[in-house]
Amino acid sequence: METYLTVNEVAELVKLSVQTIRRYTMNREIPFHKIYRAVRYKKSEIEQWIEKREAGKAKSLSANKKQPIE
């Protein structure tokens, strides 16, 4: 059985504000599901989303490193 999280639980899990999670939801930047009128987030999808964000940050950091002058 899949675990669904509330916006507060997601905010706590990813250490962002509730407002930020709501903005990401409105902009469809984070995976979510509407169950009747409630917005819920699958825990497994949020964990994958976190991994993708962390991988993207690591790539951008390595791309931004300055090349040594020879």
Cα angle 31, 6, 55 (rounded to 5 degrees) comes to 40
Q: Which residue has the tokens 């169950």?
A: 35
pLDDT of residue 69: 56
In a domain, 40, yes or no: yes
Q: What is the tens place of the pLDDT at every residue in 7-24?
A: 999 999 999 999 999 999
Range of the domain at 13: 4-61
What is the number of domains present in the chain? 1
Task: Encode 7-69 in three state secondary structure.
Answer: HHHHHHHHCCCHHHHHHHHHCCCCCCEEECCEEEEEHHHHHHHHHHHHHHHHHHHHHHCCCCC
CATH number for 22: 1.10.1660
Q: What is the pLDDT of residues 20-66, one digit of tens each?
A: 999 999 999 999 999 999 999 999 999 999 999 888 776 665 665 65
